[in-house]
Structure 1
């Protein structure tokens, strides 16, 4: 669904607020949960969105509308797996409730793509309980294609090097990977 469970958001916001950021890429923003939560913390941060489902861009006001300010400074209607590497060259890349919507090997490759693009931090949030889901509101990209085990995500992020912090809730797990050790 284009929304996200509240679990882990305070934990994520605390890490966001203690990290100096100038640029953020939000992959699969849906309704813009992270921009709504994080953007008021720092003014002047450049926000990029990569949204695969074009109707969400207008429906959730991700891009300029006559009635409200943009939620994102730059919006790309792309599959993140096919996005140019430079879009991941940011201080923070957010994969908030998006990696479960692709096969595991694609998700791992996407995390490596962000790391290889020299992003400084990666935030991952995803269900850590059985969470079957199919198409939602005509969006086939909402289907859950992989059920993540939190230990598996720990290992995947550890392989990137750097430092990893994690939070395991009752429904969601959150990970903050940083290039800085």
Structure 2
């Protein structure tokens, strides 16, 4: 079953019906040419958005940044803390933060959201776990610890459209321990064994939770900036 799932995933046949992260990001950014990717990590999904002509990857953890450069995920790279960033208003068509906000306190995260909404011309795209998901530092990276949790309503109140991602939350473990640098086993995130079976169930459940983000493992949030084309 593992090989079948991996085969189907690599064919990308399920991207659209299951609203995978890659498909959702491609759709959200299809009218964008320049993107600021805050907390880009070692293998940003932005690399699958072939229409992007210019992108800046921000990453504080040096091993992640070096891996991103190796994979040529962005046009430019900046090794800085997210809080240290400053750009002129409307510098990029879009600003994205995929699995970033949960690594900061609510206060700092709100400041980062406000900055992202200022720097973007057209839209801001955010992904976060649904609610608080415990995670200590992985990859010898203390910045990987989770410090906050987010709900769909919190983003709706800021003007974001929110959809569910990654299947039913109840199928996943309450704590995340998978490496981003060394390719952790996604099946180990499932609550029950065999992980490959429950991962398949999770994939099918994505067809449903996309429309009911409160039940999903993760949230995909998009805000259109007023005045953007």
Identify the TM-score tier after normalising by the shorter chain.
0.7 to 0.9
1:124-173 CA-partner distances (Å, limit 9, x unpaired): 00000441001011101100000112211222x22xxxxx3221232110
- The structural deviation recorded for 1:75 is 0.3
Aligned residue in 2 for 1:49:
57
Query: Which residue in the other structure is 2:79 paired with?
Result: 77
Question: 1:26-175 alignment to 2 at 5 Å?
Answer: 26-38=37-49, 40=50, 42=51, 45-58=53-66, 60=67, 62-63=68-69, 65=70, 70-86=72-88, 89-155=91-157, 157-158=158-159, 164-169=160-165, 170-175=216-221
Change (3 A) 1:118 1:13: closer
For structure 2, the 5+ residue unaligned runs are: 1-18, 166-215
Count residues with an aligned counterpart: 159
Between the aligned partners of 1:88 and 1:80, the Cα distance in structure 2 is: 17
Task: Say which structure is richer in helix.
Answer: 2
Bigger CA radius of gyration: 2
CA spacing shift, 1:88–1:108, aligned 2, 3 Å: farther
- Once the two structures are TM-superposed, the CA of residue 102 in structure 1 deviates from its matched residue by 0.2
> How big is each residue's C-alpha offset from its partner over 1:21-52, in whole Å with a ceiling of 9 and x where there is no partner?
221011111123322222x2x16x10101101
Q: How far apart, in 1, do the equivalents of 2:37 and 2:127 lie?
A: 12
How far, CA to CA, are the matches of 1:110 and 1:130 in structure 2? 18
- State whether structure 2 residue 11 is matched by structure 1 residue 11: no
Structure 2: distance between partners of 1:78 and 1:152? 27
Measured in 1, the distance between the counterparts of 2:80 and 2:20 equals 27
Q: CA RMSD in A?
A: 2.2
